[in-house]
Amino acid sequence: MATDFGQFFLNSLPNLLNGLGYTLLLTFISIAVGFFLGIALALGRVYGNKIINGFCVGYIELIRGTPLLVQLFIIYFGLPSVGIIFSPLQAALIGLAINSGAYQAEYLRGSIQSVESGQMTAARSLGMNKLQSIRHVILPQALRISIPAWSNEFIYLLQYSSIAYIIQVTELTAEGKFIAAHTFRYLEVFAMIAVIYLVLTIVSTEIIDRIAKHLSIPGIGAAKRVSLRDI
């Protein structure tokens, strides 16, 4: 039985690794694109005029108010009806990035607003313009503060990238389903998949924690860990 499972695992490995590759690709690209999107939206919300702010609020609320799967369906099944066609992988990447951008914007906005207003005043009094103050004084603090939330977002994307399976991206869960459907060994396959996700979750949390410690400055960031206790 044990050797049987070992053999089964080895046979499944190429497929699983292939799927894992796509899962990581989806996660990394969408968190990176979502990050820049999130910064733009957050700055728009905090410093933008009425119109920009209104647009950013609309975007963030609409994305956060609808399921990721609906967003993927609109991109993958909906847009072709008006002549815009994406491959499953493209559709998944676009959907995840757009989705993550809205969530990251909210974390970042909270962090930007938690930087004391005196910091902006001090930067301006040195003669920096608004953009410089944001770039050199506000963001370096805000980004450190948002690392814990950002770590949660990373885990969220890692897990929710599995939904790309539903629009036929052959990521980890899809590969698992494929193997299981052919061998009828659902329990073993999904147990393996679950363990892979668990390990990924634990390892990435640990890595981000280390980065946070490395970047931490006394008084900012690491000490100000966002936890549910703050509710």
Partner 1 sequence: MGLETIVTSLPRLLDGLRVTIGLTVFAVCLGTILGLLLALGRSYGKRALSLFINLYEKIFRGIPLLVIIFIIYFGPSQIGFNLDPFSAAILSLGLRSAAYQAQIFRGSIESIPEGQISASYSLGMTKIKAIRYVILPQVLRLSIPGWSNEFTILLKDTSIAISIGVIELMRQGRYIYVREPDLALAIFLLIAFIYFLLVITTNKSLSYLEKKYRMAGYQTEAHR
The one among 8, 28, 47, 73 contacting partner 1 by CB under 8 A: 73
Residues 119-178 that bind partner 1 (CB under 8 A): 158-160, 162-163, 165-166, 173, 176-177
| Spatial CA neighbour of 193 closest among 174, 216, 166, 173 | 173
| Residues in binding contact with partner 1, number by CB under 8 A | 45
Taking the CA atoms of the chain, what radius of gyration do you get in angstroms? Answer: 21
Please give the structure tokens belonging to residue 89.
């992988």
Residues 186-215 that bind partner 1 (CB under 8 A): 186-187, 190-191, 193-194, 197-198, 201-202
Sign of the CA dihedral running 14, 19, 25, 28: negative
By CB under 8 A, is residue 69 in contact with partner 1?
yes
Whole-angstrom distance, CA of residue 48 vs CA of residue 56: 9
Minimum CB separation of residue 230 from partner 1 in Å reads 6
Please give the structure tokens belonging to residue 106.
């909210």
Kindly indicate which of the ranges 34-42, 48-56, 113-121, 180-188 contains the residues binding partner 1, using the contact rule CB under 8 A: 180-188
Size of the chain in residues: 231
Cross-strand pairs, 217: 220
By CB under 8 A, is residue 182 in contact with partner 1?
no
Minimum CB separation of residue 110 from partner 1 in Å reads 9
By CB under 8 A, is residue 62 in contact with partner 1?
yes
The one among 16, 56, 60, 68 contacting partner 1 by CB under 8 A: 68
φ, ψ for residue 174 (rounded to 5)? -65, -45
Determine the angle formed by the axes of helices 147-160 and 2-47, rounding to 10 degrees: 130
* Residues in touch with partner 1 (CB under 8 A): 62, 64-71, 73-74, 77-82, 158-160, 162-163, 165-166, 173, 176-177, 180, 184-187, 190-191, 193-194, 197-198, 201-202, 227-231
